[in-house]
Amino acid sequence: MKNNYEFTPIEFREKILQDLEIRISDSIILVCAILIASIGLNMNSNAVVIGAMLISPVMTPILALGYGLSVLDSFVVRKSAKLLLLEVAVSIIVSSLYFMISPISYPSSEIISRTSPTIWDVIIAFAGGVAGIIGARKKQANNIVPGVAIATALMPPLCTIGYSISVLKWEYFLGSSYLFVINSAFIIIATVIGIRVMKFPVHYKVSTNKNRINLFLLVISILIMIPSIISASSLVQDSVRKYTINNFLKNEFKDYVILDQNYKNSQNKLVLTVSGKKINASKMNNLKESLSSYGLKKVTLEVIQIPELGNLKGEELSKYLDQYIQNKLDENTDKNIESKKEKNDSSKQINE
């Protein structure tokens, strides 16, 4: 009865080998997925990026690699590793070429979100790998593997690598590469564990020591997790600090209009632009001393005061608002100019 719903170990191996065959149709699908994902990242469209992940075939060799390592099948391991490396290379090359010719060079939020992986990405990849191998063994069509492809996001990090190469942003390159390594490695590890739990027989042609492979996977998983834990810790600290700053402003500046707030991480300084009654020296000292009660003991406070807007005359208010808006426009212009300059410098280096 079981065979009516799930592949037997022999059938599953045959299915894996069939999926690892390099076909022209699969190559075209891969290129299409790369272009769709690159455009989605470029245009900051989450829906388009999800569409690219649904049609991407990158998931197949990763699951196959985990299967091969679990049953000690060196033939499957070699074949899946070659296909994975080929798909990764094609993805990076095609996405790099796209971003080189794209007129939009600034990093969208979709791109930036793929450059700072955390421990949660490890958990998602591992859970996705477990679900993926269970879904892959079922004979009936199901939405498990496509769902895993969306959750683990294998294609967007590869396209982000292509973007970072095109604009020579090496911090983005390292972050997106690390995210792809996390996703791939923990899908493989979860697949190995899943196959072992399913009690697939070890391949008869191989006599490799299983304990040695287990130790290798354990060491690799620990080494990969360490940076993600550090990144997650930093993210949690930023979230806590943001919450405490908002709480501080809500309680201590409730009688003021906060026109602008800027936390300078490098200087550990909170800069506020407020409108309201003048803050005298005594009250400023009290505000600075109250920072410690909000868990912001090491944060320095700088307050830029402007006259209360209600007391300004029509011309003065109009002049102030015009100046404030112009300052914001100048900030955005400077950012755009800097982004264009980086793009031009990158293009010159590439041409050279």
Q: What is the pLDDT of residues 287-319, one digit of tens each?
A: 888 888 887 777 888 888 776 655 555 555 555
Place of tokens 């309680």: 251
The strand pairing partners of 263, in sequence order, are: 270
Question: Alpha helices, DSSP H only, in 168-209?
Answer: 170-197
DSSP 56-118: --THHHHHHHHHHHHTT-HHHHHHHHHHHHHHHHHHHHHHHHHHHH-S--SPPHHHHTTS---
Question: Whole-prediction pTM value?
Answer: 0.68
Identify the CA nearest to 29 among candidates 62, 2, 54.
54
Burial tier of 100 (Cβ tally within 10 Å: 0-12, 13-18, 19+): middle
Report, as an integer, the average pLDDT of 169-195: 89
Burial tier of 339 (Cβ tally within 10 Å: 0-12, 13-18, 19+): middle
Name the least confident of 157-171, 250-264, 327-341. 327-341
More confident: 344 or 46: 46
Predicted confidence (pLDDT) at residue 20 exceeds the cutoff of 60: yes
Report, as an integer, the average pLDDT of 106-134: 85
**Chain CA centroid to CA 128, Å:** 16
The strand pairing partners of 302, in sequence order, are: 271
Q: What is the pLDDT of residues 47-96, one digit of tens each?
A: 888 888 888 888 889 989 989 888 888 888 899 999 999 999 999 999 99
The pLDDT, as a whole number, for residue 100 is 92
The pLDDT, as a whole number, for residue 324 is 59
Give 343's pLDDT tier (boundaries 50, 70, 90).
Answer: very low
Contact 183, 88 (CB under 8 A): no
| Mean pLDDT value across the chain | 79
More confident: 66 or 227: 66
Contact 118, 180 (CB under 8 A): no
**Distances from the Cα of 306 to the Cα of 26, 92, 264, 318, angstroms:** 63, 51, 21, 14
